[in-house]
Chains A and B, each alone.
Chain A
Amino acid sequence: MKFVDEFRDGELGQAVAGEILGIVEPGRHYKVMEVCGGHTHSIYKYGVDDLLPANVELVHGPGCPVCVIPMGRVDDGIALAHEPGVIFTCFGDMLRVPGSNGTLLEAKAAGADIRMVYSPLDALRIAREHPDRQVVFFAIGFETTAPSTALTLKRAKQEGIENFSCVCNHVTIVPPLRALLESPDLRLDGFIGPGHVATVVGARPFEFIPAQYGRPVVIAGFEPLDLLQAIHMILRQLREGRCEVENQYTRVVPREGNLRALEVMAEVFALRPHFEWRGLGFISQSALRLSDDYADFDAELRFSMPGVRVADPKACQCGEVLKGVIKPWECKVFGTACTPEHAIGTCMVSPEGACAAYYSYGRFARQREVV
């Protein structure tokens, strides 16, 4: 398949791994964070980290939207789903995220009308088909997914669909990166930038990282050779004393992003003053709400929602995993009480979560040869 097979070539992968081995400085330990959960998934699925020298460590970032949604928002969603006459729609991976009193899947089993959709457009279609019901879309995701919600709300407004509304949990990637860079817990040498978020926002939003924090960023694709090349580009910058934003994923990511998507998002959304991230706490201007022009479609205004803040389970160390402070297998409940089939923490729910990806692909091969 075009753009797939050639980026999974084993011989080329070995060759790039050899170049990485040749470029690292012996005795120096490199910590590189892959920001996006999709990268985490690919790294474990293809064993990319097994091709790296032992002194190149990959740290998993906060770029999985399911993983960072706080329990209180899940509880809000469940309460809304139980409202009489409501059809509650969400992406499938949201269904198993634990709230303080169960998941949306369990709420569905208890009788709530909860339906999985592939796109917000599907939720809007359900609203058209059920004019006598209130259809709510529980929107989550970074800038990759937010344009889809924005376009759907524009359509709803244009068509005058009054029984459709949205709980907006969309988050933005830059504020948590800044928070991580400010964190004293973590010393990072560079970032693998999120490829598909950059498709929308472009490269410019990441330029503060080299400019203000002196760390290189390489925006990367999701195939194993993409990741190996991105790691090589980061190490090469470090070796040459350079520090900038580079784009490895040029076959998809335009440097300026998708300006039309940004315009639509600016029309439909506004920044929240602050938003709670699971494990990371409140981060200012890190999430989106519906703009005043779209307030009629805001489910948080249309319905009464509990809005209670719920502390994470004590046993769960998703926060430390999301900040890259500990590895998934260092969590006390990893693979025992917390598994993909019965997740305690969000990082074990989505296949993009570091714990789930590691549980699926990496747990049997942790020991690797030390160079």
Chain B
Amino acid sequence: MNWCGLDPGTGPRSGQVGSPLAVTGGRNDEVGCITCGDVAERMLVRTIDHATGLARCDGGEEVDVALVEPVEEGDAVLVHAGVALVRVA
């Protein structure tokens, strides 16, 4: 169900951020509210820029990994609102 009355797109971050049709994000199979923890997503780190503390994760998602450093490419992190909160197995 499209709760926000907006186009849910097909992925966790479909639509252009800041555009009228951007979505709130969500799990792989649904649109959800990101203001609480239920859509904290497990993502794999693909590349890291240690100078900025920003990483690219699954789907090109830009994630701030400052709170879980040291983190390496291939690590799995739990991401909420663009920030990795914890490294997971």
Contact = CB atoms under 8 A, between A and B. Distances in A.
Interface of A: 1-3, 36-39, 41-42, 63-66, 89, 91-96, 105, 108, 115-122, 125-126, 140-142, 144-145, 147-148, 151, 194-197, 199-200, 222, 251-254, 258, 260-261, 264, 340-341, 349-352, 356, 360
A93 B38 contact: no
Nearest to B6: A92
A92 B18 contact: no
Contacts of B31: 351
Contacts of A125: 17
A340 B80 CA distance: 24
A120 B82 contact: yes
B17 A118 contact: yes
Contacts of B20: 108, 116
Most chain B CB within a 10 A radius of its CB, from A251, A254, A351? A351
Given A3-B42, A148-B64, A264-B67, A119 B36 contact: no
B37 A116 contact: no
Contacts of A258: 67-68, 85-86
A8 to B, nearest CB: 12
Given A222-B37, A251-B89, A118 B13 contact: yes
A3 B20 CA distance: 33
A142 B36 contact: yes
Contacts of A349: 3
Interface residues of B, number: 40
Given A118-B24, A196-B85, A350 B35 contact: yes
Given A119-B83, A350-B33, 6 more contacts: A93-B35, A144-B37, A148-B64, A251-B89, A252-B88, A341-B5
B81 A141 contact: yes
Interface string B61-89: 01010111000000000101111011011
B36 A144 contact: yes
Contacts of A105: 5
A89 B18 contact: yes
Contacts of A41: 32, 38
Contacts, number: 173
A251 B89 CA distance: 7
Contacts of A121: 62, 64, 82-83
A148 B82 contact: yes
B33 A352 contact: yes
Given A118-B25, A264-B67, A356-B3, A148 B80 contact: yes
Given A92-B24, A119-B83, A145-B35, A252 B18 contact: no
Contact of A252 (B3, B22, B78): B78
Given A93-B3, A96-B5, A260-B66, A65 B86 contact: no
